[in-house]
């Protein structure tokens, strides 16, 4: 009976991630049938390299969604902004020292996120408007900094994108970030982030420093986006200003598929990470079919369909949970 109680508590706490895990498993099976080389050492290594930037951007979106800042539409454009800034202002000037590159990448991500959270909380502009404006501004700025894909990453960063085996730098980066997030969820600060996201007024009345909590959440998001920009630069070993919309759409799909509430206060990385892997698997699996010029259209259609299905499933699941709770009380 005690085991059943623990299982029930786990499912209540983590059930939001079920759709992402289910889709990921199904797509892995299909990918295994269509392209068995995916499950070789180099195949897994290459897939991890390809997916790491998306995982990190989706995780960054999750943090801001949890604190009640809705979906961060600027995340993909900010990741690309980190990428083109590194290429233009460091690599083109023959500056490639690892500590400088890492600090600049994280610094850019944090600075832009801090600016956004100040506008949201001090100026009182809706988060969705702030992040949309940031997406548009950054997308244009990216094309000003680099008008086309160009540049070259230093050798140590380019080696990140080799993907020759499973246990490469990208794998280590993802593991470190996930472990750090797991430890963070055990802190009181994480609890305050979810409280602010669930009900800002109640959190304020309860003595939670709302602005400081939002600020910390956006700083964490900025760090993750900075690391995503670093990973993306290693993946392509150059700069590419054209992928803002692609990564934004993919990350939003992963976020929603992972079950994180866009209203704030509910969800987490347990759904986001498999959601990002599933989204990446969609592109990979579709690439094994002879779609030709329709490949891009079919991929976008698949993302949109999954978004609708994930949102619908989320509404149905929440309805079932509410009915169960009411019947239990009665």
Give the pLDDT of residue 84: 97
- Residue from 306, 283, 279, 276 nearest 59 by CA: 276
pLDDT at residue 212 greater than cutoff 90: yes
Minimum mean pLDDT range among 77-86, 244-253, 283-292: 283-292
| Crossing angle of the two packed helices 75-89 and 210-236, in degrees rounded to 10 | 60
pLDDT at residue 7 greater than cutoff 60: no
Q: Average pLDDT in the 96-118 region?
A: 96
Answer whether 63's CB lies under 8 Å from 224's CB: yes
Q: Average pLDDT in the 79-89 region?
A: 97
What pTM did the predictor assign?
A: 0.91
The larger pLDDT score, comparing residue 119 to residue 311, is at 119
36-73 pLDDT, tens per residue?
999 998 899 999 999 999 999 999 999 999 999 889 99
């Amino acid at each position: 009976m005690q085991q059943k109680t623990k299982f029930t508590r786990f499912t209540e706490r983590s059930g939001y991630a079920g759709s992402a895990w289910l889709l990921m498993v199904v797509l892995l099976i299909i990918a295994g049938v269509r392209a068995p080389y995916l499950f070789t050492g180099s195949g897994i290594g290459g897939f991890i390299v390809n997916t790491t930037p998306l995982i990190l951007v989706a995780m960054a979106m999750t943090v801001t969604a949890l604190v009640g800042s809705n979906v961060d539409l600027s995340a993909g454009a900010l990741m690309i902004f980190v990428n083109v800034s590194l290429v233009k202002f460091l690599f083109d000037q023959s500056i490639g020292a690892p500590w400088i590159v890492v600090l600049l990448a994280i610094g850019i991500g944090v600075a832009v996120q801090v600016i956004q959270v100040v506008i949201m909380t001090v100026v009182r502009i809706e988060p969705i408007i702030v992040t949309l404006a940031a997406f548009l501004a950054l997308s244009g700025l990216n094309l000003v900094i680099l008008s086309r894909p160009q540049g070259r990453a230093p050798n140590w960063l380019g080696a990140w994108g080799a993907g020759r085996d499973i246990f490469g730098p990208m794998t280590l980066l993802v593991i470190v970030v996930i472990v750090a997030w797991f430890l963070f969820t055990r802190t009181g600060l994480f609890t305050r982030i979810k409280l602010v996201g669930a009900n800002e007024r109640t959190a304020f009345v309860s003595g939670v420093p709302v602005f400081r909590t939002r600020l910390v959440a956006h700083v964490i998001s900025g760090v993750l986006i900075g690391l995503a920009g670093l990973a993306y630069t290693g993946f392509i070993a150059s700069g590419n200003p054209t992928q803002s919309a692609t990564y934004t759409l993919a990350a939003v799909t992963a976020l929603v598929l992972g079950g994180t509430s866009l209203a704030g206060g509910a969800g987490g990385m347990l759904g986001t990470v498999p959601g990002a892997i599933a989204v990446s698997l969609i592109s990979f699996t579709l690439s094994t079919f002879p779609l030709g010029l329709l490949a891009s259209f079919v991929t976008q259609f698949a993302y949109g369909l999954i978004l609708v299905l994930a949102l619908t499933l989320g509404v149905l699941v929440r309805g079932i949970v509410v009915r169960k709770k009411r019947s239990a009380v009665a």
